[in-house]
Amino acid sequence: MLLTPTNERGSQMSVSGTWKLTIDTPMGRQESTVELTTDGAALTGTASANGETIEIFDGSVDGDNATWKVKVTTPISVTATLTATVNGDEMTGQAKAGFFPAAPFTGVRV
């Protein structure tokens, strides 16, 4: 079976996977690894950075667009909302954490 962008299975697979993210935050560049899994429109997974792994929550996916939240505890405690667009093995998006301005990020599938 060929997977095409209009194929439901192809859309679900476009966001699923392990991603290395680089976020340009006001406190400097932050790197993390995100493991994402889709089930229909639901998005679940984990985010790992600085020796800590946390569950993502309130995740959703619509084709190649994804949104999820993480509760960050280091260096400060804040909930971050990430919105992303996937294009093949690349991801671009914005991370918004508390009162900080939105920070752009890029990601590559690993």
CATH of the domain at 95: 2.40.128.20
What's the number of domains the chain is made of? 1
Q: Is residue 52 part of a domain?
A: yes
Q: Which residues of the chain carry a pLDDT beneath 50?
A: 1-12
Q: Is residue 49 part of a domain?
A: yes
Q: In which domain, by residue range, is 36 found?
A: 8-109
Q: What is the pLDDT of residue 2?
A: 38
Residue found by looking up tokens 């976020």 in the block: 23
Q: Is residue 3 part of a domain?
A: no
Q: Is residue 91 part of a domain?
A: yes
Q: Is residue 17 part of a domain?
A: yes
Q: What is the pLDDT of residue 29?
A: 93
- DSSP class of residue 9 equals H
Q: Is residue 35 part of a domain?
A: yes
Q: Is residue 36 part of a domain?
A: yes
